[in-house]
Structure 1
Amino acid sequence: MKRLSLFAISSLLCFNSYAQTISIKNKSALKREGELVRIDWNELLKRNPKIDTSNLQVVNQATFAQVPFQLEKVGSNEVKFLLLQVSVQPKSTLKVILQDEKSTPLNAKTYGRYVPERKDDFAWENDKIAFRMYGKALEGSNENAYGIDVWVKRTSELVINKRYKVDNYHKDHGDGLDYYSVGQTLGAGDMAPYLADSVWYLGNYKSYKILDNGPLRTTFQLNYDEASANNQRIEVQKLVSIDAGSQMNRIENSYKFKEAGLLPVAVGLATRNEKDKQILQDDKGVIGYWEPVHGEDGITGVGAVLISPIKVVKKHNQLLAVTEVKANEPVVYYNGAAWNKAGEITDSQQWFDYLKNFKQKLQQPLVVKVN
């Protein structure tokens, strides 16, 4: 990694054509490790109109090391946000400097794509974990499943393209596998209407749009046909983001329906008919499941974090977090998974602590100030 001398930093601040500092404050008692922060690009341009996206470098003011960044476009042709991947100690502030220097190329840590060769799957991943959702080509077949699938991995490398090329990705070839069973459930944290004490599945996605594809954040949109749920016509659009270094996705769902009032919805975790269930349920917005060991395949933990209070329901071999949404008003929540054989989160306590700490971080976000 390229480093700058103290003299070079001093010279930079004095003579660089658009050098400026950004302060990132951690008010929480938790260490924020490899977390992404987002800065409005127009705010940066207002202060420094000469910023050149082809000649941009971000460095840590204290260590002079380069800070990984991404120019986020959110489906546009123009840059909308600057994403920085930072680590900030508890109760402390990190300062970074923007400068007109070439940055070291960054290897992609997130990725997603449509998979027409596997019946319209949409698969996505980061350097920790991978997921997929099912498309229309699978709907109605005996292979069909409803919710979010997990592909466990024990490598920081991106594996989706590689796995779709092997004969059997249900076997661990050294970097993980797909052994998680979704079936007729919400799987690893999908959301669906919850009416008359039942989950109403709205079918598989019909179309997609990729808004950003790495290196630090991948964001895509899934669109669904209007479907019937307890005699209501409901349509949903799902916006999914995954960040480098995180076990979690951010999911933003928008529901369209004509009935007055609020629509009950549930985020679900498949518990199947398994014994020795280890469950986390917090009515303030956190649910988690640490499954029993699946032989040589190991153990997968799944979980979800919601912003609003929830009602927890155990039904149809699922752990459900029930809340309510308004028509055409996005609801945001987070879902994710971890695999014990990846060697980072190896038991239920560590996984449940991760989920609770994730909730705390949402409540105490890093504070960014452009100086």
Structure 2
Amino acid sequence: MITKSNRPHLKAISTSTLLNYLFAFILFTSIFGCKVLEKKNQKSATIIKVKNPIATLRDNETISIPYKLLQKEFPSAIIAFIQLIDNKSHKTIVSQPIDNNEDGITDAFLFQTDLEPNETKYFSVNLSQNIPDSSSVFAKFISKPEGLGDFCWENDYIGYRMYGQARADAQGTGTAIDVWCKKTDRKLTDDWYTAGQSYHIDKGYGADHYASGKNQGCGGSGILHKDSIYYSKPYSSWKIIANGPVRLVFELKFSGWKIDNTYLRETKRITLDAGQYLNRIESTYEVTDKNFSFSHAIGIAQRSDSKVIIDKKNNLSESWEKLTIPAGSENGSLGCAFIADPKTNVKNITSRNNHLFGIMTAKSEKSIIYYTGAAWSEFGNIQSFENWNTYIQNKKECINHQCTVTILK
């Protein structure tokens, strides 16, 4: 037995000696890690083949590779070191592993590229300790007092928000999607919520010039039942699933409906990629009465001077309006649009109550997928209604005809 009198004497170690040991350990692990990556890269690189199947230009196209296709060569322990190189330009590409169902396992590997009509491109997959991670997307819950519970998200082109319950209590807002007009590709959410300033005033980088109204704005939704539209209270909870650098994903839950003794709850999963104007929105309802008949109605607010396209053949609608906030000012124009996913059943696209509406079939626990978003004429290449229409028509083609991805050895 070791007692106080016979236990081993522990010699004190100086701080400088400890630092030397620590430096040696870091140096060893760094060299060892480099050797592992070097040995891995000595094998022939994995090649990704991406094909654009249509005669449409695709800018900032997000390519999603199921991780199971890469897992054999790149197990989860080294996923953080995966590096993608464009074989044509030889540039390293920003990429992002993503866990869509939050089970702790990577589901897909994302990156972006530009593709000419019908172009095929090749990318090499290697390992490196120098992975670019500059993010062009950002999502954030803004608490009181500045944010009043708003949820904001943005990319390098445009920004959006949905109002919180505190703002609804104070200002009477609802479930509309508001638009932030940006003049820069940098993150602006925190700047706009700086105490003591108005985000309706453009200080050189954009502002909130859009009048969203209470319940629709640019893509807000409600429930259509017996020819009446019912709106929820503002969202009751939020969750960020991914926050860049290529894609942001978050969920908002709404629990504000009771119609004919039936209770309904909705979860919106919203996705926005870098370099894109449109959000991908997936709405799923939970309904206490499975036989309750209703439709999902997304709306776009209209003004007296709005230019409008309703394209029932392609299941989309577009608008273009002048922006006059603050009152009496002229701040360019804003385009808003709705596109239904090809897997979603559209009942009608119509105009009623000063709104464009996309009416879609809804069933309990069945996802409804659609795209909504906006572009401001004062930033970027979309400066007219004609530009906006061209963009939306091309985007519809890209949604309907996804790129094909092949893993080559």
TM-score by length of 2: 0.83
Separation in structure 1 between the aligned mates of residue 172 and residue 160 of structure 2, nearest angstrom: 17
2:393 alignment partner, SS class: helix
Separation in structure 2 between the aligned mates of residue 15 and residue 53 of structure 1, nearest angstrom: 14
- Report what 1:4 is aligned to: none
Structure 1 261/186 Cα, relative in aligned 2: closer, same or farther at 3 Å? same
2:68 alignment partner, SS class: helix
1:264 and 2:295 are equivalent in the alignment: yes
**Where does the alignment leave 5 or more consecutive residues of structure 1 unmatched?**
1-11
**Where does the alignment leave 5 or more consecutive residues of structure 2 unmatched?**
1-37
Separation in structure 2 between the aligned mates of residue 57 and residue 266 of structure 1, nearest angstrom: 42
Contact 1:193 1:229 in 2 (8 A): no
1:111 and 2:148 are equivalent in the alignment: no
Amino acid in the other structure paired with 1:33 = D
**Cα offset for 1:299?**
1.1
**Cα offset for 1:275?**
2.3
Contact 2:319 2:336 in 1 (8 A): yes
Contact 2:315 2:349 in 1 (8 A): no
- Report what 1:163 is aligned to: 192
- Report what 2:105 is aligned to: 78
**Of 58, 63, 87, which residue of structure 1 is paired with 2:114?**
87
2:117 alignment partner, SS class: coil
2:72 alignment partner, SS class: helix
Separation in structure 1 between the aligned mates of residue 119 and residue 243 of structure 2, nearest angstrom: 31
Separation in structure 1 between the aligned mates of residue 169 and residue 260 of structure 2, nearest angstrom: 20
Amino acid in the other structure paired with 1:363 = N
**Of 317, 320, 325, which residue of structure 1 is paired with 2:354?**
317
Instruction: Flag the structure with larger Rg.
Output: 2
**Of 229, 236, 243, which residue of structure 1 is paired with 2:266?**
236
1:228 alignment partner, SS class: strand
Matches within 5 A, 1:179-328: 179-229=209-259, 231-257=261-287, 258-260=289-291, 262-271=293-302, 274-283=303-312, 284-294=314-324, 295-307=329-341, 308-328=345-365
Separation in structure 2 between the aligned mates of residue 15 and residue 224 of structure 1, nearest angstrom: 48
Separation in structure 1 between the aligned mates of residue 340 and residue 68 of structure 2, nearest angstrom: 30
Contact 1:262 1:324 in 2 (8 A): no
Contact 1:76 1:211 in 2 (8 A): no
Structure 1 48/343 Cα, relative in aligned 2: closer, same or farther at 3 Å? closer
* Coordinate RMSD, CA, aligned: 2.1
- Report what 1:30 is aligned to: 56
Separation in structure 2 between the aligned mates of residue 302 and residue 68 of structure 1, nearest angstrom: 29
1:156 alignment partner, SS class: coil
- Report what 2:157 is aligned to: 128
After the TM superposition, which parts of structure 1 deviate over 4 Å for at least 4 consecutive aligned residues?
12-15
Separation in structure 2 between the aligned mates of residue 50 and residue 342 of structure 1, nearest angstrom: 40
The alignment covers a number of residue pairs equal to 358
Structure 1 64/145 Cα, relative in aligned 2: closer, same or farther at 3 Å? same
Separation in structure 1 between the aligned mates of residue 75 and residue 172 of structure 2, nearest angstrom: 54
Separation in structure 1 between the aligned mates of residue 221 and residue 391 of structure 2, nearest angstrom: 21
1:137 alignment partner, SS class: helix
**Cα offset for 1:14?**
10
Contact 1:300 1:338 in 2 (8 A): yes
More displaced stretch, 58-67 vs 133-142:
133-142
Spell out, residue by residue over 1:248-294, the C-alpha distance to the aligned partner (whole angstroms, 9 max, x if none). Answer: 101000011214165212110011xx323200111131111101353
Structure 1 260/163 Cα, relative in aligned 2: closer, same or farther at 3 Å? same
More displaced stretch, 61-70 vs 90-99:
61-70
Amino acid in the other structure paired with 2:311 = D
Separation in structure 2 between the aligned mates of residue 28 and residue 41 of structure 1, nearest angstrom: 25
Separation in structure 1 between the aligned mates of residue 380 and residue 245 of structure 2, nearest angstrom: 24
Contact 2:67 2:108 in 1 (8 A): yes
**Cα offset for 1:145?**
3.2
Separation in structure 2 between the aligned mates of residue 197 and residue 354 of structure 1, nearest angstrom: 32
TM-score by length of 1: 0.91
1:349 alignment partner, SS class: helix
1:141 alignment partner, SS class: helix
Q: Percent identity?
A: 27
Contact 1:13 1:19 in 2 (8 A): no
Contact 1:146 1:183 in 2 (8 A): no
More displaced stretch, 313-322 vs 301-310:
301-310
Contact 1:18 1:100 in 2 (8 A): no
Spell out, residue by residue over 1:228-253, the C-alpha distance to the aligned partner (whole angstroms, 9 max, x if none). Answer: 24653211011001000000101000
Separation in structure 1 between the aligned mates of residue 103 and residue 76 of structure 2, nearest angstrom: 21
Structure 1 341/68 Cα, relative in aligned 2: closer, same or farther at 3 Å? same
Matches within 5 A, 1:9-20: 16-17=42-43, 19-20=45-46
1:162 alignment partner, SS class: helix
Amino acid in the other structure paired with 1:102 = Q
Structure 1 199/18 Cα, relative in aligned 2: closer, same or farther at 3 Å? farther
